[in-house]
Amino acid sequence: MKNRKSLYRLLACVSLVFILYALVKNYWIDPGAAGFLSRKTGLKRELNLPVWLNVMYVHVGFACLAMASGLINFSNRIFEKSRRFHRFNGYVYLVSVLLVVLTSGYMAPYATGGKISSMGFNALNLIWLFVTTTAFIQIKRKRIDRHRNWMIRSYAFCFTNLLIHLITSLVHHGFGMVYATSYTIGLYGSIALLIIIPEIIIRTKRKEWVIE
């Protein structure tokens, strides 16, 4: 029980710090995304900057909302106090994920790293949509444990951007690779971790239940 509470507190701290960082950086410090766009080279399609920026604002806003609503719904205390709120907040998460996936689909062709990165983002979007839809189907069938496990898998994808930039920075600064290549490695490395880490958490959770 203590381990679960500690994990939730750590998750809450990381999520809240990242949400604050994303909002401040994208809406206040660099609303024109000049720093991010300066890394994009060799684009095959002409980028319509005003449209791209508006889509990016929607993408970031709903990504933060998905991270916040998902975090709230993992709280047992809130779940026990109001299942109606838990259900409503679950729909907020579902809609947020859908909008993040749709906006990401628009931005994918302009991804740093070219076509191979675009393919990676499209694959990531399909996986996230699949696991989130599966979580929704499981709760509709009253399979609570399965629903929670699929939500763990789904929520992991809220940390896509964080993981991509961490791995990209490590490869770019640590190994001296060009940024575009580092970004592509960061993307595919993140997809692998976002699939593996939830499975480790789910298996660890099962072992704790057996011990208890």
Q: pLDDT tens digits, residue range 69-109?
A: 999 999 988 888 999 999 999 999 999 999 999 999 999 99
Helices (H), 141-178: 144-156, 160-175
Q: Are 187 and 120 in contact (CB under 8 A)?
A: yes
Q: Is 38 within the bounds of a domain?
A: no
In 68-146, the DSSP E strands lie at none
Q: What is the dihedral of CA 39, 42, 43, 46, to 10 degrees?
A: 100
Residue 170 domain-assigned?
no
83 lies in some domain: yes
Mean pLDDT score of the chain: 92
Structural domain containing residue 83 = 2-22+48-159
31 domain-assigned: no
Q: What is the pTM of this model?
A: 0.92
Closest among 72, 136, 49 to 98, alpha carbons compared: 136
Higher pLDDT, 142 or 205: 142
15 vs 5: CA distance, rounded Å = 15
Take residue 66 and report the two structure tokens written for it: 């998905």
What is the number of domains present in the chain? 1
**Position 212 pLDDT exceeds 80:** no
Q: pLDDT tens for residues 164-182? A: 999 999 999 999 999 999 9
Q: Does residue 171 belong to any structural domain of this protein?
A: no
Percentage of the residues of the chain whose pLDDT score is greater than 70: 95
Sign, CA torsion 123/126/129/134: negative
Q: Is residue 117 part of a domain?
A: yes
Largest CA distance in the chain: 58
Is residue 32 included in any domain, yes or no? no
Q: For 50-71, what is the mean pLDDT?
A: 97
